[in-house]
Structure 1
Amino acid sequence: MAQKVVLITGGSSGIGKAIGMYLKSKDFKVYGTTRTLTKYADFNHFNLLVLDVHDATSIEEAVAKLVALEGKIDVLINNAGVGITGPIEETPNDEIEKAFNTNLFGPIRVIKAILPQMREQRSGLIINITSIAGYMGLPYRGIYSATKGALELVTEAFRMELKDFGILMTNVAPGDFATNIASGRYHAPILEDSPYKKPYGDTLDAINTDVDSGGDPIAVAHLIYKIIQTKKPKIHYKVGDFMQKFSLILKNVLPDKVYEKLLLNHYKL
């Protein structure tokens, strides 16, 4: 059987790198992407292509190069993303737009570029990496929650639009995993004269602690592998510790104000 060709955006580090390394060990032909190849001159875990999810031309060139090299693309994993924290009132509008540009519009651009090839093949699987945070409006992470929640809904619509072409699509929503996302995340500054100074500062500490103590991203890779082997993937998958996944069950069964109170208690707000 021919190797399946997998393209992973944002594959040079974190969850994307873990997925790529694991799939390569399972005999997939893996290509990750990065905006700057020169930063990864010594990267030898799998192939890397230049791709910037903000730039449609960059995406089209990467897809064309991959098709020229392999003749097909079996799986797209939309993993590239950015974090953003801050009181919404004090988060600069341009940073909000950047977050949506990367986490929502970026995956849509990549999907649009890859669909003609998958439609020609009459096959393909697209996995969008979202977040458990996308299922709830989290204090001081509201913009991040919104970007990931929007991608979940876009996937629901896309699945129905693609059903006649043999192309499958699903979401994978990770909880907190120990990656370098915090180092690249935009933090609205904690302003000395801000009415949000203390609650935002305390919440930011809690967020960073959750990420630092998060699980091994190999758990996400294991789930991705399982999904690829599945004939009819579900619409939504969640991966994380018990309490993170259980929080989604509680959101579905508890009255809104009770659930909100649980979040406020969790963040000590």
Structure 2
Amino acid sequence: MNQDQIKATLLSIEDAPMDFTVILSGKKSVKVNGLYKPDTREIIIHNKNFDDDNLLLYTAIHEYAHHLHACSQGGTLPSRAHSTEFWAILHALLEKAEARGVYKNVFTESPELAELTETIRQKCLLQNGSLVKELGMLLLKAGELCNAIGARFEDYIDRVLCIPRAAAKMSMKMFEYDLDPAVGADNMRFLAGIKNEDDRMTAEKSLLAGKSPDAVKLEAKKKPDDEDPRHKLEKEKIRLERTIASLTKRLDEVERELDAGE
């Protein structure tokens, strides 16, 4: 790909508010594959680093994300270039590029990697998330027992379990909010920090759909001015279904305990 072809491809993914230039350095660099100069709005790519146009295009999209980020900041970049906003822009560009067929998702090319990815999701992310959520459930029960014997739950957390109170509180929130452990423990911590239930459910749904954490975090900061009524009803339906399922499960437990006591 030459410079004009790269620029045309980038513009086909998303238009830019400010013009920019793509420069192929004709050099090989051991430090970086490319860079962006906000002062001159130049995307410089060390094309001798690549034997594959798809890999070269990834670097071009990465630097283009810096340009679009700078455009949103009035033409300058913040002191921290690789911020949450930047990664959200980059991931959105990659999704658009893949959808348009101009960039190939390399992660789907290897059957071995796809198999390993599923193993990581099921054996690590899901199980880890499930364990942290179960810890929250057990801690809530421990809190009830501490109250029953007149003991301080915080003291139990500090001196018996020897775990940070913040971690204990977060795991209890994960259970109380009934977060899906499939997103993994780290994402569950993020979700547990979202107070608004509708916002939390929307963020969880985005993570489960494959959105990157940075993109979801950025979206969580935005407040829609006028939410679509149908979308609002769909979210309420999901929330009610979860509540019914949770209450039904608890009712079954109570009935079993009552039957066992007879």
By relative contact order (CA 8 Å, sep 6+), the higher-ranking structure is 1
TM-score tier, shorter chain, comes to: under 0.3
Whichever of the two has the greater Rg, that structure is: 2
State the TM-score, normalized to the length of structure 2.
0.24
The structure in which a higher percent of residues are strand is 1
